Structure 1
Amino acid sequence: MSTLEIRDLHVSVETEAGPKEILRGVNLTVRSGETHAIMGPNGSGKSTLAYSIAGHPKYQITRGSVTLDGEDVLSLSVDERARAGLFLAMQYPVEVAGVSVANFLRTAKTAVDGKAPNLRSWVKDVNGALEKLGMGADFAQRNVNEGFSGGEKKRHEIAQLELLDPKFAILDETDSGLDIDALKVVSDGVNRFHGKGDKGVLLITHYTRILRYITPDYVHVFVDGRVAEEGGPELAEKLEAEGYASYQKAGASS
């Protein structure tokens, strides 16, 4: 069993007016076998949390800690965080011209595991992962995200998740821009990953529609850089019915 623990995390970004604090003391613990959904309005700090854990240089940690099985994540480089077992599915995956999906995936797997996978079994694994996500084997020969539809980009992220097999998946609005068919396919992929039993999922989303297919153990409401409320799946239903207005008013008055 593994534990990803975030304690009193404060994060700032540099703006023209100087440093601006985005996260203002986040506390969150995700254990193996758990799915945590983070929900909140635009600008509440959800994506900042994801990218801070992953090690994006834009975000400056000013206070607090992030540990994975007791190891200080914040002292690790981005690639070391990946090798330690962290995975980030990006909201806006970038295009990588001239690099095929096949080469990208094998290079990533080699970097994470410290050794190259057996080529014959690896090709079988890649084709199997792509097939589960409704993509043919020819997809592997395309350049990474170049000319991909929104759905193809998100399916490719989940293919990476399945093949790299981390301890914890941080999914930053993986549902954004997906039609209902693609949403089901992506959700099935996340559920397969979580179904291994020893995996943790931190799912960031605006909307409850993906939670119809991925059932969270815990829901955290993010407002103004903090966790404003925590609960079970029923909290997502409350948000669907009432929105975030009451939390935003409470934050404004505090």
Structure 2
Amino acid sequence: MRNTSLLNIKDLTVKVEEKSILKGLNLEIKEGETHLIMGPNGAGKSTLGNVLMGHPQYVIDEGNIFFQGESINDMKTDERAKKGIFLSFQYPEEIPGVTVENFLRTAKMAVTGKSIFVSEFQKELKEKMDLLKMPYEYKDRYLNLGFSGGEKKKNEVLQMAVLEPKLAILDETDSGLDVDAIKIIYEGIKNIADDKKSFLVITHYNKILDYLKPDYVHILIDGKIAVTGDIDLAYEVEKVGYDNFKKIAGTRSDMNE
């Protein structure tokens, strides 16, 4: 039985301050699939994550984003979150005065629209923190304040675990982390995954392939997906770099003119 289409991006063109970043991008993600997006700096990887989450700085010039068959082009960020889309930040913000526990409980209630008893939430939170090997006392610390880079990234994955989105977009969650931290984060993601949850993982590094096996790998070049393949494509990039893929993208661009 084929999985149901969850996200369908069609001919997406996006501008930031009148500069085109995404240029006719197409991508489909089905329920339970993990997709890896790779590409050189400036290709549009983080832009893709931000526009899927509805960042107001990114203007959709053409094309459509469908989530569970419904266009979300005009939806606000909170509406997208309630539908089940989550974006982890590459550089998580520090928020003094707001504890990890209060932030996550408030976010959970906002997304689900349901009240949650403190004792009930604390039990769930401890289970998720144990999964990510985070000390339980972190729940009482202010959100990301004084956290190391690895702790901030773990906290992003903890948010994902608590909110249980249908589509999790991970924007370079592995950047700046040592091998042990990467292992903990992605093993935590594996434990959270099921046949209904989908992941869009944006990365520069192949190290995550030791822990996370994508169904599809996409090479993003100059605002378009130049090549799609399986995990072997990621290993090819590691060996030869992006130059060959830039040539492919350039050839396709010439053919479309």
Say which SS state the counterpart of residue 42 (structure 1) adopts.
coil
Partner Cα distance (1:251, 1:165) in 2: 36
When normalised by structure 2's length, the TM-score is 0.94
Partner Cα distance (1:2, 1:198) in 2: 11
Structure 2 counterpart of 1:160: 159
Structure 1 counterpart of 2:238: 240
Instruction: Report Cα offsets for 1:168-204 as digits up to 9, x if no partner.
Output: 100001110110110000001111222x221111000
Instruction: Report Cα offsets for 1:42-75 as digits up to 9, x if no partner.
Output: 0000000000000111111101111111111112
Instruction: Report Cα offsets for 1:100-158 as digits up to 9, x if no partner.
Output: 10110001000000012232221011111112212111101111111111100110011
Partner Cα distance (2:32, 2:127) in 1: 24
Structure 1 counterpart of 2:115: 116
Structure 2 counterpart of 1:188: 187
Equivalent positions of 1:190-209 (< 5 A) are 190-194=189-193, 196-209=194-207
Aligned with 2:214 (options 213, 216, 227)? 216
Q: Are 1:2 and 1:167, in contact at CA under 8 Å, matched by a contact in 2?
A: no
- Aligned partner of 2:132: which letter? L
- Aligned partner of 1:230: which letter? T
- Aligned partner of 1:88: which letter? L
Q: How far off its partner does 1:249 sit?
A: 3.9
- Aligned partner of 2:65: which letter? V
Instruction: Report Cα offsets for 1:188-240 as digits up to 9, x if no partner.
Output: 1111222x221111000011111221000000000000000000111111111
- Identical-pair percentage: 48
Gaps of at least 5 residues in structure 1 are: none
Structure 1 counterpart of 2:7: 4
Q: Are 1:221 and 1:227, in contact at CA under 8 Å, matched by a contact in 2?
A: yes
Equivalent positions of 1:123-162 (< 5 A) are 123-162=122-161
Structure 2 counterpart of 1:101: 100
Partner Cα distance (1:32, 1:175) in 2: 23
- Aligned partner of 1:95: which letter? E
Structure 1 counterpart of 2:53: 54
Q: Are 2:226 and 2:248, in contact at CA under 8 Å, matched by a contact in 1?
A: no
Instruction: Report Cα offsets for 1:70-95 as digits up to 9, x if no partner.
Output: 11111211101000010001111111
Partner Cα distance (2:139, 2:223) in 1: 39
- Aligned partner of 1:207: which letter? Y
Partner Cα distance (1:147, 1:79) in 2: 27
Q: Are 1:10 and 1:64, in contact at CA under 8 Å, matched by a contact in 2?
A: yes
Partner Cα distance (2:119, 2:236) in 1: 49
Q: How far off its partner does 1:251 sit?
A: 4.1
Say which SS state the counterpart of residue 64 (structure 2) adopts.
strand
Partner Cα distance (2:9, 2:198) in 1: 14
Q: Are 2:5 and 2:28, in contact at CA under 8 Å, matched by a contact in 1?
A: no
Equivalent positions of 1:5-20 (< 5 A) are 5-14=8-17, 19-20=18-19
Distance 1:248 1:44, change over 3 A: same
- Aligned partner of 1:130: which letter? M
Q: Show structure 1 runs of 4+ deviating over 3 A.
A: 249-254
Say which SS state the counterpart of residue 73 (structure 2) adopts.
helix
Query: What count of residue pairs does the alignment treat as equivalent?
Result: 249
